Structure 1
């Protein structure tokens, strides 16, 4: 992979996620992150997802996926390209996403059942309140400030945090593989985010749980489960209807047998959760 291919093919959000960097504020096309090279209270790193570029308002420096990797790993262009090759999901095995110091200054203060009115309202807004027992209420401190959110643990024991204003991971980014000992068929159902998993569980009757579940938490994590997916007779995909989701779907379809693309169910919507939310709103 050369520089032009990397800039064109590798999604900037995925690269930032691989370093545990997540938006502080975002919309569909742009987002603000904290700076890559310094601590700050007000985010100044602006990312344009459409152009696949970023700009640091604090330093006046522009970034692409290559220069982001160079900054985070303090490496050469060739080393950055080698790092970026993993996002084409090559045949490498047992690779680990690089960890970062971005969220090392955090502390989980309290873990409990979902009780806070704001989180209850948020789960109801996302139409998954019935699945509240599958997530936790997490109170945490990050860079000296206290926050709370809906928490979902991954295989590394780190926690994905979501609330109305925030989408971050405390600790190491990883997948969440949920085994079902009572499954009647060797199938795995793959989701991009845990809210789609909660949505699916909401639609599925408890007595009919027949599969294992895999939540990627980021399409960049696919390389971690390449061997795991080979163990299943069927793979059902509930990925996002966007460039990242479509690219990941194509990779899985090319690599494995008996893959079903379930995103056709919510064609015209970003993901399963958005489809259900809009559908239930219309039915009211």
Structure 2
């Protein structure tokens, strides 16, 4: 598929979400993200969902979805085109997925326990089927089309949806804080995504936990819990081994005391789940 077809078929929000990048503030048509190539406290990367383009106010550079992949992966156009091979073109439509995260044009039809064979198989492929009770089977309608996936709810009632082909958020983006009645704010364990959280629950299943758990659902959501984290005596980090995860780790280590970087456990893998799948 050529560049123009890809730009037509895939929306910019979906591309950014594939790199675990989410807006810091947004409205129906536009949003601000943190810059792709540097650490910053005030987001300067402006995304226009209607035009499917972006502008970096810090550098003055314009972006489309292909140049975004080039910037993040530091690759050529041909290599960027290969990156898009993993996208499911049958369901990607401009503005459909974008509006899902805005709470527009979607409705949740049914929430149930995980029963669908495809979702069971996907959980098994990620080796977290034992934790199926921590997620839900979600059926939803998006712009008059029906879909289903594995759902994980956040603190604002939004739901992270995952299946083999898609990664979106229905409703408001937020963190998920799972409190433990035994924790007494002694320790909090932080993950980027819920599959790493499910993986960790697999690893600790034989021990009684006294920790709280924080799933960011996007490192851009860290600002929502900056005050909350001050209440904990210890912070354990299970973040991704990539530029985004490393940047978030550095921010937390500078701001809080007694922070443990647990990514050393899976230093040669992208994240905890990838390491777990390879080792078991």
The two structures have a TM-score, normalised by structure 2, of 0.68
Distance 1:163 1:184 in 2: 35
Distance 1:20 1:50 in 2: 26
CA RMSD of aligned residues (A): 2.8
Q: Is structure 2 residue 258 aligned with structure 1 residue 277?
A: no
User: Displacement of 1:17 after TM fit?
Assistant: 4.0
Q: Is structure 2 residue 68 aligned with structure 1 residue 48?
A: yes
Distance 2:125 2:67 in 1: 27
Distance 2:276 2:151 in 1: 21
Give the structure 2 partner of residue 155 of structure 1. 155
Q: Is structure 2 residue 211 aligned with structure 1 residue 211?
A: yes
1:61-210 pair list within 5 angstroms: 102-183=102-183, 186-205=186-205, 207-210=207-210
Q: Is structure 2 residue 57 aligned with structure 1 residue 37?
A: no
Distance 1:221 1:162 in 2: 19
- C-alpha spacing 1:16/1:222, structure 2 compared with 1 (3 Å): closer
Distance 1:101 1:116 in 2: 24
Higher mean displacement: 178-187 or 142-151: 178-187
Deviations, residues 16-60 of structure 1 (Å, cap 9, x unaligned): 544599xxxxxxxxxxxxx81169xxxx9546334149xxxxxxx
Number of positions where the alignment pairs a residue of Structure 1 with one of Structure 2: 209
5+ residue gaps in structure 1?
A: 1-10, 22-34, 54-98
User: Displacement of 1:156 after TM fit?
Assistant: 0.1
Distance 1:118 1:253 in 2: 40
5+ residue gaps in structure 2?
A: 1-15, 29-47, 53-63, 74-98
Q: Is structure 2 residue 238 aligned with structure 1 residue 257?
A: no
- C-alpha spacing 1:129/1:47, structure 2 compared with 1 (3 Å): farther
The two structures have a TM-score, normalised by structure 1, of 0.67
User: Displacement of 1:174 after TM fit?
Assistant: 0.2
Contact preservation (8 Å) 2:178, 2:214: yes
- C-alpha spacing 1:142/1:216, structure 2 compared with 1 (3 Å): same
Distance 1:38 1:193 in 2: 29
User: Displacement of 1:113 after TM fit?
Assistant: 0.1
Deviations, residues 104-160 of structure 1 (Å, cap 9, x unaligned): 111100000000000000000000000000000000011211100000000001100
- C-alpha spacing 1:153/1:20, structure 2 compared with 1 (3 Å): farther
